[in-house]
Amino acid sequence: MDIASIIGVVSGMGFVLGTILLGGSIMMFVNIPSILVVMGGTMAASMVGYPLSDFLSVFKTSIKIFMFKIQAPEEIISNLVETSNKARKGGLLSIESDIQNTSDPYLAQALQMTVDGVKTADIAAIMQKKMALTKKGLDTGSDIFSSMGSYAPAFGMIGTLIGLVQMLANLDDPSSIGPKMAVAMITTFYGAVLANLFFIPMSDKLCGRNEEEITNMSIIFEGII
């Protein structure tokens, strides 16, 4: 579990809500049409920009933002050296127990192919293909969240423009200008919060996760070969 991500989201929302409560009622910032414009528009634009399968997969990928456990590179290197020494002394069949004990499916598959006597070139091709697919999946998730981070403020502005048009169409009632202006500005607020507290930081976190995972996979690849 990534404590930093959880603390960041909770504290960020806490600061925003605390500031709102210090200045008045939180209900002033609740507006269903504004939420629909920002969230609906952001989701719709993302589906236009990416294949549906990629868009749907981002929800699964986002779990890695909050739930992520990865071995330290030093530990992987140490384990590979130990496995290598074991194979050199007892033969490749002696490392079958290591396959059962490893929690990394990438390493387990690579060790199994080694024990099975698969050619080195074939092992390398399979491992590189799997590494490329893993990187593509994480890159796609990061890219989609980054795009949503740019779409959300834009749809916030669209919602504000809609509110301003509705306000200007009813200038004959001066008493309604203030409330309508407040509602018009809320959509910009929603877009800014979603982009800067959720979507852009999530994109950055997934980008970091990508680098960590690919680094470990590269170490395993080199060690197996």
Average per-residue pLDDT in the chain?
88
Q: What is the pLDDT of residues 61-108, one digit of tens each?
A: 888 888 878 889 999 999 899 988 988 888 888 888 778 888 889 999
Compute the distance between CA of residue 104 and CA of residue 215 in angstroms, rounded to an integer.
14
Answer yes or no: is pLDDT of 47 > 90.
yes
pTM of the model: 0.81
Q: Which two tokens stand for residue 149?
A: 């981070």
Answer yes or no: is pLDDT of 56 > 80.
yes
Answer yes or no: is pLDDT of 162 > 90.
no
The beta strand positions in the chain, using DSSP E, are none
* Continuous segment of H or E residues that includes residue 6: helix 3-23
Tell me which of 34-43, 132-141, 180-189 is least confident.
180-189
At 180, which amino acid appears? K
| Closest listed residue to residue 224, CA positions, set 102, 135, 142 | 102
Q: Which residue has the tokens 């749907």?
A: 56
Alpha carbon distances (Å) from 217 to 21, 130, 164, 190, 212: 47, 9, 53, 39, 9
End-to-end CA distance of the chain, in Å? 32
